[in-house]
Structure 1
Amino acid sequence: MRSKSKIFRITELQLEQLEKHLEKESTNFTDFIHSLIQREIMQDAITVKPPEEEKPPRIKTKIVFDVIKRYQKTDPSLLLELSKIGNNLNQIARALNIIKNASVDEQKKLDILSIFLVLKDIQTGLEQIFPALPEIKRQTPERLQKQLSSIALSEEDERAY
């Protein structure tokens, strides 16, 4: 039930324009104000809209590409050797993780120089299988030699740990 009222002032010209508009739309002032409120104020309110007319279904076009897979014939013995190398690397990684978590006394018992030599043999083996691969060098030979000599010193003197 509408029990509230609101009074506002307008000029003579605005009044004439308003009355012409109401007559043209064949409505009264109250319905006009209600439609303005509905349009301007209530547009931000969340309401359920009536269903719209069904739109025609959107047509999707599908582009199909033919993918041609070209497999190179690979020597099975090469694949077997690569599998063995991968297996060796996994075993090395597992052993290094065990060593990392071992006690300091257990770590002192390791011969790190022989571990480096095994890794170097693996690298040499890879270079023989794949001569096109670049040689892996993470540091200069002088730096590597210095590290190896410090390891040799630490093996002689346990205070180096």
Structure 2
Amino acid sequence: MKRTKREITKRLRFNAEQGAQLDSFLQEHGIGFTKLIHILIQRELCRCWPLVHRTSEEQALSEPSKLWQSVPLKKRSLKNTVGRPVPSADPQLLLELGRIGNNINQIARSLNFLCLQQTEDIQKFSFVDCVDVLVTIQSDLHQYLPVLPKYFVSDQLAKNRKAKAIQRVMEDR
């Protein structure tokens, strides 16, 4: 039988006791979890549809005594798990950055919501207050982060970008 790539993933949830029982069973029989599930599914399919053609491996799996002998335990490779080391950072800094990021997300969500609303709602919204909050967030960021490099755009590049933006707006109308 030709082997095909398995691209579909299914997840199972266990409570602590079930997980411990499953782990001890897998270790006792020297089998991997994925292989166990494949074996059990194949066995059930063969039981429900006995006329389905079976390979020699499937026939061996249908006999309980041969079930665990025919399946070797596969060790997982560690080559893909080694990456760059995790940088050390102050937990308070990470917490504060998370809070700031959350604030930015809330502001962006509110602005996106306002863009979809009627003009009355837009008129009620105070863009000055929004800019004030953004300035506060920016000052908070500068308090915790080093100075960011200056971003410079030439006049010609700015004109080109402005022309492209205006062109996109005109095309959308």
Specify the structure having the higher radius of gyration (Cα): 1
Higher RCO (CA-CA < 8 Å; seq separation 6+) = 2
**TM-score, structure 1 normalization:** 0.40
**TM-score, structure 2 normalization:** 0.38
